[in-house]
Amino acid sequence: MHIMRRLFGLVWPFKWWMGLAVLLGAFTVGSSIGLMATAAFIIAKAALHPSIADLEVAIVGVRFFGIARGVFRYFERLVSHNVTFRLLAQLRVWFYEKIEPLAPARLMTYRSGDLLSLVINDIETLEHFYVQVIAPPAVAVLVAIIMWVFMGSYGARLADTLLAFLLAVGFGVPLVSRWLSRGLGKIIIESRSELNVVLVDGIQGLGDLLAYGQESRQLALAQARSQEVIDAQRRMAHITGLSDALNSLLANLGMVAVIAVAIPMVQAGRFSGVQLAVLALAALSAFEAVLPLSSAAQFLESNVEAAQRLFAIVDATPMVQDRRETLPPPSNYGLQAHNLHFRYAETEQPALNDVSFNLPAGGRLAIVGPSGAGKSTLVSLLLRFWEYQKGQIVLGGHDLRAYRQEDVRRRIAVVSQHTHLFNDTVRANLLLAKPEADQDELYAAARKAQIHKFILSLPDGYDTWIGEQGLLLSGGERQRISIARALLKDAPILVLDEATTNLDVLTERNVLQTIYNAMEGRTTLMITHRLVGMENMDEIIVLRHGKVIERGTHTTLLQQAGFYQRMWQLQNQILPTQVAFASERIQQREMAMNSVSAFS
């Protein structure tokens, strides 16, 4: 009942449109009853060879009800589909608004296929909630009341007989259908979701499957999931066929029962034999209103199951919440971390353990370390994707949690290791960073990222579509578009999270130098395991297993002969004796540059 109340709450804003659609549906069925009744009157009356004048009203009635039925059906479909599409639009927007604050922390446990199934299949299932569950019972109740009154004008027994069969078709058969299909709705929703997961995983990982010769295994898995859906739908189709057969049987028995009750009344002279035909066909036509109720009962479980899956997500508490009182934008963009602790789950080891650093406004800090050291976790905390449990991150002299999430993210440009590009044009993907940017700004950012000439070489230049996740581009091209997007945003804080992973060595150095020049005076945080351009950093922090094990400049860290030096040695494949020599050369160059600066 709780789920049903919430479902009704979602459709309540459209109550007047739904009421109009129900009324038009009742008029449509009423016109069908009127058409059959007047047609029966004409046929029965004509058998007695009456004057044409006796049939004129009925002839006009046939024309009226015939035309009215089509008109009412058209407007009923028009209004009901209008309600359905409006409801579908509202459901999708409602679901997105609910899950957007949950990303990414609360959604990490869901597979992409699960979310796709929720957004498409489950919401489309609820789209039919109005058409299949709400409207048919309302129309049936209206028509049943009208027919009970109409039959009651001829006799109470007629009214009660018809009402009994209407209840049998409207409640008895649906209860049987619901009993036979119990659990099927849940099976269909879950098996369809599993099929979506397998298909999405197979498409996204098709290259890997082909490379390792596992395409047959994935195909067999998809076929198995598909067969589960087919089997469940076949069972549902069998139940639907049985329900239709029972409905037809009871409708015809209802008409026969009305005739059986009416014949003694005709013999008693309570009404003419012509009216017997009218009552018989009117009674048969009335079942049109209750026939859809069996389908409504069958698919009710699917609607409830789909709603439960949606509500299970949207009811989750966001991992990060803004405080009621938030601060205005920071006055400066220095970043500090004080004894920062964070773990993803209580049972897991800390991803960050007592991490501290000081990055002044306009400064450059590199955080390096092997995979799993906690580098990307730090980026997630800075973007307020997660909340740290202990310690503090300070932005502009205030705790990061005192700012609104949007205010924080608006002032941080991120170039991440895994660049997400939408199935759109290059221009649209770049304008995500700054929708109001003009063409000159767009070109300038692309030139700085060394991607402008490549974009112009594409078939439609900046208006070229790049495919799902930008798969029509190489990894390096996608990364450079991501860098151009960050440069276009022109945020006061720049975070580079493995930003040059997919670039060749020469392009990597050139792009990094371009970024350093473009971000002069901006707070820059570089997260990387590749020790390229480290001599440009004001400070380097070495993370390992979530802890700071070393810190200093590139020169001092090389001289310490610690973990950083071993990383640099392995990356550059040089001998330990050459490390000291290279460190000395770097130190001499820095001293020379300082002397020139002092002289000037």
- 5-54 residue pLDDT tens: 887 887 888 888 888 988 999 999 999 999 999 999 898 888 888 877 77
In a domain, 287, yes or no: yes
Dihedrals phi, psi of 537, to nearest 5 degrees: -90, 140
217 in a structural domain: yes
Q: What's at 25, amino acid-wise? A: G
Classify residue 283: in a domain, yes or no: yes
Would you state the pLDDT for residue 577? 44
pLDDT tens digits, 214-240: 888 889 998 998 998 899 889 888 888
CB 200 within 8 A of CB 116: yes
421 belongs to a structural domain:
no
Instruction: Note whether 292 and 394 are same-domain residues.
Output: no
Of 285, 314, 343, which marks where a domain is finished?
314
| Residue 68: CB atoms within 10 Å | 17
- Residue 551 confidence (pLDDT): 92
Token match 């949007």: residue?
406
For residue 353, which amino acid is it?
Answer: N
Instruction: State whether 26 and 66 are in the same domain.
Output: yes
The per-residue DSSP string of 558-570 comes to: HHHTSHHHHHHHH
- Give the span between the Cα atoms of 465 and 468, in whole angstroms: 9
In sequence order, the 6+-apart residues with CB closer than 8 A to the CB of 46 are 55
Residue 492 lies in a domain: no
The CA-based dihedral angle spanning residues 159, 160, 162, 165, taken in that order and rounded to the nearest 10 degrees:
170
Please give the tally of structural domains in the chain: 3
Beta strand spans in 97-192 (E): none
Length of the chain: 600
Is 493 within the bounds of a domain?
A: no
Q: Is residue 169 located within the same domain as residue 98?
A: yes
CATH assignment of the domain containing 281: 1.20.1560.10
Q: In what order do the strands lie in the sheet with 352-359?
A: 352-359, 335-342, 390-395, 398-399
Instruction: Kindly state the tokens that stand for 565.
Output: 């030096």
Q: Are residues 82 and 123 in the same domain?
A: yes
Same-domain pairing of 247 and 349: no
Last residue of a domain, one of 287, 314, 341: 314
Query: What CATH number does residue 339 fall under?
Result: 3.40.50.300
Supply 193's token pair. Answer: 């979701």
Query: 388 lies in which domain range?
Result: 332-409+530-552
Q: What is the pLDDT along the chain (600 residues), one digit of tens a residue?
A: 677 788 788 788 888 888 898 899 999 999 999 999 999 989 888 888 887 777 888 889 899 999 999 999 999 889 988 888 888 888 888 888 888 888 777 777 776 667 777 777 777 777 777 777 788 888 999 999 999 999 998 889 999 999 999 999 988 888 888 788 777 777 887 788 888 888 888 887 887 888 888 888 889 998 998 998 899 889 888 888 888 899 899 999 999 999 999 999 988 888 888 888 899 999 999 999 998 888 777 777 777 778 888 888 888 888 888 877 777 778 788 899 999 999 888 778 888 999 999 999 889 999 998 888 888 888 889 988 888 889 999 998 888 888 888 888 888 988 887 778 888 999 999 999 889 999 999 999 898 888 899 999 999 999 999 887 787 888 778 888 888 888 888 888 989 888 776 667 776 776 677 677 667 778 889 888 888 878 888 999 999 888 999 999 998 998 888 899 888 888 876 444 444 444 555 455 555 445 444 434
Same domain, 341 and 285: no
Task: Residue 477: name the closest of 494, 496, 452 by CA.
Answer: 452
Q: What separation in angstroms does the CA of 252 have from each of 172, 238, 546?
A: 16, 21, 76
Q: Looking at the DSSP assignment, which residues form a beta bridge with residue 357?
A: 337
- Apex 561 CA angle, 557 and 562, nearest 5: 80
Q: Are 194 and 228 in contact (CB under 8 A)?
A: yes
47 secondary structure, DSSP code:
T
Q: 563 and 539 in one domain? A: no
Whether 373 and 309 share a structural domain: no
Residue 427 placed within a domain = no
The torsion of the CA quartet 387, 390, 391, 396, rounded to 10 degrees, works out to: 20
For residues 182 and 228, membership in a common domain is answered with: yes
Give CA–CA dist 410/5, Å, rounded.
38
Pairing of strands 493-497, 523-528: parallel
Q: Are residues 117 and 201 located together in one domain of the fold? A: yes
Candidates 507, 456, 500; CA nearest to 479 is 500
**Residues 502-511: contacts with CB within 8 Å, 24+ apart?**
502/474, 502/475, 502/476, 502/478, 503/476, 503/479, 504/476, 505/532, 507/450, 507/476, 507/480, 508/532, 509/533, 510/450, 511/449, 511/450, 511/480, 511/483
Residue 574 has a pLDDT of: 47
Cβ atoms of 166 and 286 closer than 8 Å: yes
Among 281, 314, 347, give the residue marking a domain's end: 314
For residues 309 and 339, membership in a common domain is answered with no
Q: Which of 233, 228, 208 is closest to 218 using CA atoms?
A: 208
Per-residue pLDDT, 587? 56
| Alpha carbon distance 533, 506 (integer Å) | 12
pLDDT at res. 323: 79
> Is residue 330 reached through a cis peptide bond, with omega within 30 degrees of 0 on the bond before it?
no
- 295 within domain boundaries: yes
Q: Which residues pair with 353 in a beta bridge?
A: 341
SS3 percent helix, strand, coil of the chain, rounded to 5, is 65, 10, 25
Cβ neighbours for 563, distance < 8 A, ≥ 6 positions apart? 542, 544, 549, 550
Does one domain contain both 249 and 364? Answer: no
